Amino acid sequence: MVSKRKKKYSTGEGSQFISRKQALKKLQLTLNDFRRLCIIKGIYPREPRNRKRAQKGDTGIKTLYHIKDIQFLMHEPIIWTLRDYKIFNRKVGRAKAVRDFKTMKKFLDNHPTLKLDHIVKERYPTFIDAIRDLDDCLTLCFLFSTFPSLAHIPREQFNLCRRLTIEFMHAIIEAKALRKVFISIKGYYYQAEIKGQTVTWIIPHHFSFEPQSKQEVDFKVMSTFVEFYLIMLGFVNYRLYHSLNLFYPPKLSISTPNESEKALVDENMFLSERIAALNTPLVKTSNEPVEEDIEIDTFSENNPEKIEEARNEAIKIKKLKTLFKGLKFFLNREVPREPLVFIIRCFGGEVSWDKNLFVGSTFNEDDETITHQVADRPSLEKQYISRYYVQPQWVFDSVNAKELLPVSKYFIGEVLPPHLSPFVNNERNPFEQYIPPEERALMDPAFAEEINKKRQEKENKQVDCIDNNDELEHDNNEIIKTNGLEETEVEKLDPALDKKKKLSVAPGTIYKEEPWMQKKQERQEYKLREKMIKKKHRKIYRAMIRNKKDKAKESWLLRKKRRIIDESKKDNKT
């Protein structure tokens, strides 16, 4: 029996992919609705191994989706809601054109609503899955919480972002889950550990909002992401609060839009109320302790060194949770209050500020129990003897070091040490990547000893400059005297030379290797090894070499920049 010949592109990559135009036709959706549906469901374009086969012989570049993903979208009930939206807009537009306001009001009261609860449960079946995907959610929600009202985006979305982000920060404070902090140009980086999972997010700096002259960012697409992330963050907050024995939703001291319209207009008012909400403790359902002793699994690792290292790390984290316990901080008005309040409260400290400037203050500046006052100015007129006056960087660096650093380097008016990032890999190669000398000194104590030795040598050279002239004159006189002696007199002084002459074995001559010849041979061997690379791997290899050269160039530029800064500091001192 003769088998039927298969049609071209009916199998393989030709049958696995579908273009966006075909997907729109199959789902009977507009481009905006299709994009919104893909964002909510987590469907994204795919890159095939062979684009020509996937596009059924077409050589152009198209946006391709996996055909199984499109079939998965066909069974989604949200499609019917999006179609209802389309019909709703058409009916409202027709009633408005005819000026039938009674019918238009009837349509507006019964508008279709989009519910995403089932999609959150579908995409994240367990609580741990939701926490693993929390990084982008938090970063985007914190970004939208700083925006005023924008065109084509509902105002309720911004208000909900503000509330949910504050609720999440309260949960981190109560759980004492914060681990790392870092200040950068983008904003404040935070890393927390929730249920054994690390979550990293960015909170932007609070600057006055400037409207864009060019519409370079599509806020509608970002708003679609936020629409899904708000439902997801609500679920996460609910579970976190119940695991910490806290009431949900919490009663926060934030004015809602119905209470005062000023909160929507005045940015300073909003910020002060947000920080005041962070400084107030939440009501608990029960006083039972939530924290559990950290248990280390000794069965998974047979290496005792790793077990001991894990135990030491667990002890450090336990101490870190109560880093600022028993300390009281007072913040000056020029200090960024929100990150400092959040960090200090996360580690058990108390914090306050001037009650005449901002709301939410808990104690005054003249309180004698204050241990640290955070200021960011060169000097203060009135100072108390019973407290330390430090710059804000001391708080961040102490958290990253997991201990209270000495305050002498962070006094007001002092030149601060470099603020090092805790998110870098400690196993970096200093020859391939630039590592600041301060960071290398922390990582490698031997390098710190070398730096101290060099400094001592320079100091000794400066001190001994006067005595060097006398020593040189003395050495020259001794050399002249020894040159004037005869060979027999030298042998009398050193009898070991006479024994060496009587030995019958002559010393062998040392073969001196030429370093340039050795380097030449290594280069030739390296080129021969490069020729052995297969053709299909050559592009990847060249890209790796290019990347390595770029990193080396970048590290060289950073070293040069640091050298210029150090030289300018020396010139200023002299």
Range of weakest confidence among 261-270, 392-401, 503-512: 261-270
Q: What are phi and psi of 278, to 5 degrees?
A: -70, -30
Q: In the predicted model, what is the mean pLDDT of the chain?
A: 82
Residue 479, in any domain of the structure: no
State residue 306's pLDDT score: 79
pLDDT band at residue 492 using 50, 70 and 90 as cut-offs: very low
**Does residue 206 have a pLDDT over 90?**
no
State residue 502's pLDDT score: 55
Handedness of CA 258, 207, 172, 117 (dihedral sign): positive
Reading across the β-sheet that carries 350-353, which strands appear in turn? 350-353, 328-331, 372-374, 388-390
Domain match, 121 and 225 both: yes
**Does residue 499 have a pLDDT over 70?**
no
Roughly what angle, to the nearest 10 degrees, separates helices 465-484 and 445-463? Answer: 80
Tell me which of 6 and 52 has the higher pLDDT.
Answer: 52
Domain match, 265 and 124 both: yes
State residue 512's pLDDT score: 75
- Average of pLDDT values for 210-239? 86
Domain match, 349 and 267 both: no
Domain match, 274 and 314 both: no
Q: Tell me the per-residue pLDDT of 529-560, one tens digit each, with 9 for 90 and over.
A: 888 898 888 889 999 999 988 988 888 898 88
Three-state secondary structure call for residue 570: helix
Q: Tell me the per-residue pLDDT of 6-23, one tens digit each, with 9 for 90 and over.
A: 888 888 888 899 999 999
Residue 39, in any domain of the structure: yes
Tokens of 125: 């079946």
Tell me which residue range forms the domain holding 369. 305-410
Domain match, 313 and 274 both: no
Q: Tell me the per-residue pLDDT of 455-489, one tens digit each, with 9 for 90 and over.
A: 677 667 665 654 555 554 555 455 444 444 444 44
State residue 212's pLDDT score: 65
Instruction: Give a three-class secondary structure readout of 440-481.
Output: HHHHCHHHHHHHHHHHHHHHHHHHCHHHHHHHHHHHHHHHHH
Distances from the Cα of 366 to the Cα of 348, 391, 490, angstroms: 22, 19, 83
Domain match, 315 and 402 both: yes
pLDDT band at residue 418 using 50, 70 and 90 as cut-offs: confident
Domain match, 148 and 252 both: yes
Considering the chain, what percentage of its residues have pLDDT values greater than 90? 35
**Does residue 141 have a pLDDT over 70?**
yes
Domain match, 341 and 261 both: no
**Does residue 501 have a pLDDT over 80?**
no
User: Which of 26, 270, 21 has its CA nearest to residue 145?
Assistant: 270
Q: Tell me the per-residue pLDDT of 142-175, one tens digit each, with 9 for 90 and over.
A: 999 888 777 778 888 888 999 999 999 999 999 9
Tell me which of 119 and 569 has the higher pLDDT.
Answer: 119
Q: Tell me the per-residue pLDDT of 270-305, one tens digit each, with 9 for 90 and over.
A: 677 778 888 888 877 766 655 544 555 554 556 777
Instruction: State the Cα–Cα distance between residues 180 and 513, nearest whole angstrom.
Output: 51
**Does residue 213 have a pLDDT over 70?**
no
Contacts of 397 by beta carbon, 8 Å cutoff, 6+ apart: 405, 410, 417, 419, 420
pLDDT band at residue 209 using 50, 70 and 90 as cut-offs: low
Name the domain boundary from 410, 432, 449: 410
Task: Quickly tell me which residue has 């909002």 as its tokens.
Answer: 209
Domain match, 68 and 125 both: no
Considering the chain, what percentage of its residues have pLDDT values greater than 70? 80
- Average of pLDDT values for 224-245? 93
Residue 65, in any domain of the structure: yes
Domain count, the chain: 4
Residue 468, in any domain of the structure: no
Residue 462, in any domain of the structure: no
State residue 484's pLDDT score: 45
User: Which of 378, 376, 337, 372 has its CA nearest to residue 354?
Assistant: 337
State residue 275's pLDDT score: 83
Residue 563, in any domain of the structure: yes
Pairing of β 64-66 and β 372-374: unpaired
Task: Quickly tell me which residue has 């039972």 as its tokens.
Answer: 288
Residue 512, in any domain of the structure: no
Domain match, 346 and 224 both: no
Three-state secondary structure call for residue 390: strand
Name the domain boundary from 278, 293, 323: 278
Residue 501, in any domain of the structure: no
Q: Tell me the per-residue pLDDT of 425-439, one tens digit each, with 9 for 90 and over.
A: 766 666 667 777 777
Instruction: State the Cα–Cα distance between residues 323 and 400, nearest whole angstrom.
Output: 11
Pairing of β 372-374 and β 350-353: unpaired
CATH value at residue 381: 3.40.50.10190
Identify any residues that bridge with 198 across adjacent strands, giving them in sequence order.
193
DSSP structure string for 175-231: HT-EEEEEE-SSEEEEEEEETTEEEEEEEE--------SS--S-HHHHHHHHHHHHH
Helical spans, DSSP H, in 124-187: 127-132, 134-145, 155-175
Domain match, 121 and 166 both: yes
Distances from the Cα of 243 to the Cα of 17, 174, 190, angstroms: 44, 11, 22
Q: Go through 30-53 and write b for each residue having 16 or more CB atoms within 10 A of its CB, e for each that does not.
A: eeebbbbbbbbbebeeeeeeebeb
pTM, to two decimals? 0.77
Q: Tell me the per-residue pLDDT of 321-379, one tens digit each, with 9 for 90 and over.
A: 888 998 999 999 999 999 999 999 999 999 999 888 888 888 888 888 999 999 998 88
Domain match, 122 and 266 both: yes
**Does residue 258 have a pLDDT over 50?**
no
Q: What are phi and psi of 308, to 5 degrees?
A: -65, -40
Name the domain boundary from 375, 410, 445: 410
